[in-house]
A and B are shown apart, each in its own frame.
Chain A
Amino acid sequence: MSKKTLIPIGPYHPLQEEPELFKLYCDGEIVKDIKWETGYNHRGIEKLSESKTYEQIFFLVERICGICSNSHPFAFANAVEEIADIEITNRAKYIRSIIGELERLHSHLLWVGLAGHFLGYNTVFMWAWKYREPVLDLFEMISGNRNSYAMFRVGGVRRDIEAIKIPAIHKVLDDIKKKTDLLTGAIMDDPVIHARTKGVGILTKQDIIDYGAVGPTARASGVAIDVRKDDPYAAYPLVNWKVITAESGDVFAKAEVRLLEMYESISIIEQCLDGLNKEKEGDITIKVKEIPEGIGNGRAEAPRGEVFHFVQSDGSSSPVRHKIRAPSYVNIATFKKSCIGQTIADATISLAAVDPCYCCTERMAVAYDINSGERIMNANELINESAKKTNEIKNTFNSQI
């Protein structure tokens, strides 16, 4: 057997939001195998949840993941409301959807930035994160916090979006639409990005079904699953929008799906804001006496895919069992399919294309000891490798002109 190189991606990369490590086993330039360990972020949330009341659990599930700190409460609310057979007011539905879609906007922008960084386009990274800030400002205006909004409760939402705040939201949306045009133009028409992302990290339909992958990862491979359409909740059945899919399953398709989804999100928010105008202000929550005995399966479409919460209640004030399945849990496993056989330079972007969220899944490992005789490359070098490839492609393009 030829000598394999072990490359740990991570552990602590300056621009990676989380420390994570995959061990890539390489033969020359080609990735032969990939391994990961988990457990670094195990916080025992499912167990903790059994000792909290339903109202408290919203704060707990919000802290599973910071980027999608709204999708877990969303799924949990759906599960509990299913047990108690609660139908929330229309105004609360609209507000829930607005928060959910604003979150999708900022999360996709964040991803575009990181993906740009992985390809060696740091300008894209800085831009995308700059455009993300106004969305966070909106959250601060609506809920009082930039992340972890604490908006949800059983039977409705905690805070209203008053009419006075709506023009500000419209303004930010208009801005973001322009910025998205810009980003989309920059990405869709750039021959270098095409060369770097097309045909890279392909996941076929069968892979998606086999691994049970969800969200943009699945939709980029032509599997049109979206909980908002399949199992409608909140205000999604009340507004007009469509599920975005792409066929090729490569990194480019994933970027395309995310970018086009941002337009859909903007349109959903606008329709919801119009809907809000028709409902009575302040009518945001209904009284819930107790949660009866029963089983609830709640799901919601997070920016990364389907979040699933299973709640079993025995009629007391806290659940007997609360199981949480985050989208990254199934999406991360697909790395085995998308990375093996790729070159090292393409591995980072293939990994990033899934938009993995490790705190949802569990924290990935940090490895220090590498057997002698194996070359080590750290994350910086790996990114450099990726940037180098982009530059080479750029130069070839330039010389052709």
Chain B
Amino acid sequence: MDSELTIEKFKEEFKSDILEIRVKNQKRMIITVNPDSIVNVAEYLYRIAGFRFIIASALHTKRGFEIHYHFSKDISGLILNVHVVLDRSNPQIASLSNMFNASNWIEREMHELLGINFLNHPNQEKLISEGNWAEGVYPLRKEFK
């Protein structure tokens, strides 16, 4: 089917960068990739494969900081989660906002909520924290023993 084709092509394109593929069903997939390749992956999905960027979700887990970039292929109803795991002590990743505007706000938000640094972001200003919590406080970070 369409989704299988998409994934085959994706595999060919990014052989060395894919760390794990989890296929839940025809409409939901999670692909873990190497953080360094995120710009290329996003570029491929957005420009060539015709995906739409929905949003990104960042979370703090024992493994470090994880980000799921959610991409949607509207024709087939496929949601592809591009998953990256970032270093715990110095979380940073390249920004996608130079490619599409859709990720501009969410990257700023992740920066404020979890302190993930987005390299080359056009404008990493405060979005929601102004007056609400101080700089350097990251409300969504957790404590792990």
Contacts and interface: CB of A to CB of B under 8 A. Distances in A.
Check whether chain A touches chain B (CB < 8 angstroms). Answer: yes
Contacts of B72: 230
Nearest to A226: B74
Interface stretch (A132-140, A320-328, A343-351, A372-380): A320-328
A286 interface: no
A39 B128 contact: yes
Contacts of B70: 297, 308, 310
Nearest to A83: B24
A306 interface: yes
B55 A362 contact: no
A14 interface: no
B59 A320 contact: yes
Chain A interface bracket (under 10, 10 to 19, 20 to 34, 35 or more) = 20 to 34
Interface string B103-117: 011100000010000
Contact of B100 (A44, A212, A225, A299): A212
B128 A46 contact: no
Given A39-B132, A362-B128, A320 B61 contact: yes
B104 A333 contact: yes
Nearest to A310: B57
Interface in B71-98: 72, 74-77, 79, 81
A212 B30 contact: no
A211 B105 CA distance: 10
A39 B54 contact: no
A299 B73 CA distance: 13
B121 interface: no
Interface residues of B, number: 37
Interface in A364-399: none
A55 interface: no
A323 B79 CA distance: 15
Contacts of A82: 24, 28
Given A44-B139, A310-B70, A333-B105, A231 B77 contact: yes
Contacts of A297: 28, 70, 79, 81
A329 interface: yes
A368 B96 CA distance: 34
A308 B68 CA distance: 13
A231 B79 CA distance: 9
Interface string A184-218: 00000000000000000000000001111000000
B22 to A, nearest CB: 8
B52 A321 contact: no
B101 interface: yes
A42 B132 contact: yes
B105 A212 contact: no
B102 interface: yes
A312 interface: yes
A232 B101 contact: no
Contacts of A330: 55, 102
Name the 10 nearest CB pairs between A and B, nearest first.
Answer: A212-B102, A231-B77, A323-B57, A321-B59, A325-B55, A39-B128, A310-B57, A225-B74, A230-B77, A297-B79
28 contacts: A39-B129, A39-B130, A39-B132, A42-B128, A44-B139, A209-B100, A210-B100, A210-B101, A211-B100, A211-B102, A212-B52, A212-B54, A212-B101, A230-B72, A230-B75, A230-B76, A231-B27, A231-B79, A295-B24, A295-B30, A297-B28, A297-B81, A299-B79, A308-B55, A323-B57, A323-B58, A329-B55, A333-B102
